[in-house]
Amino acid sequence: MNLQEWRRLLQEDPEQAEHRISALGGDPEHLHTLARTLLQDSDPGLRAWACRILAEVRDAEGLSLLLHALEDPEPEVRAAAAWALGIHPVVEQGDSVISALQRRLEDQPWVAWVAAEALARYGEAALEALIDSLHHPHPQVRILAARALARIASPRSIPALMAALEDPSLLVRHFAETGLDRLSEAQWVWLR
């Protein structure tokens, strides 16, 4: 397919586009070329599709392109990049990804939510960044960090979650309590 055919397919038939993208998973060079081209498009919807395409590629070039897309001026593209970064967490190169996703916790609420979901998928590798985010002045960042920590449910987060029980935000306290409850349930199962 040429670029015009891809554009038309992505804009008019998303379901068929998903099938075509998945079928190209074995051809990373073609996916890179298509994604690089779409990331230059003026249409933010097509730039977001580029991020979706890059979710199929797990290599340094794809990661670099996604990190660049995470700084796009359009929130739709930043959210798509955060989503793609969380689909197949690359723990070996996680520091730069985790740092970039952590910065997105300050973004518009729905972009921040997607970034927090992606951070949770990095699990233990994201703990330090999420614990650090519990001290952020903006409640949105603290809420999302507490929620992600609750999802990860690592014993290493217990002191931070205990401290978060004193946060002025009701939602931070709720997610801290949820995380501690999940950890106590896991401990109980482990003891059996």
What pTM, to 2 d.p., does this model score? 0.89
Say what the pLDDT of residue 116 is: 97
Q: Let me know: does 23 contact 54? Beta carbons within 8 Å.
A: no
Say what the pLDDT of residue 59 is: 86
**Sequence-separated contacts (24+) of 2-10 with Cβ below 8 Å:** 3/34, 3/37, 6/34, 6/38, 7/41, 7/46, 10/38, 10/45, 10/46, 10/49
Q: What is the CATH number of domain 1-88?
A: 1.25.10.10
Say what the pLDDT of residue 186 is: 62
Q: Let me know: does 56 contact 24? Beta carbons within 8 Å.
A: yes
**Model pLDDT for residues 80-93, shown as the tens digit of each residue:** 999 999 998 877 77
Say what the pLDDT of residue 191 is: 41
**Model pLDDT for residues 100-109, shown as the tens digit of each residue:** 999 999 999 9
Q: Half-sphere exposure of residue 114, counting CA atoms within 13 Å on the CB side?
A: 18
Range 3-17 average pLDDT: 92
**Model pLDDT for residues 147-189, shown as the tens digit of each residue:** 999 999 999 999 999 999 999 999 999 999 999 999 987 654 4
Say what the pLDDT of residue 25 is: 76
- What are the extents of the domains in the chain? 1-88, 94-192
Three-state secondary structure string covering 33-84: HHHHHHHCCCCHHHHHHHHHHHCCCCCHHHHHHHHHHCCCCCHHHHHHHHHH
Its CATH architecture, for the domain 94-192, is Alpha Horseshoe (1.25)
**Confidence at 28, pLDDT banded by 50, 70, 90:** confident
CA–CA dist 37, 29 (Å, integer): 12
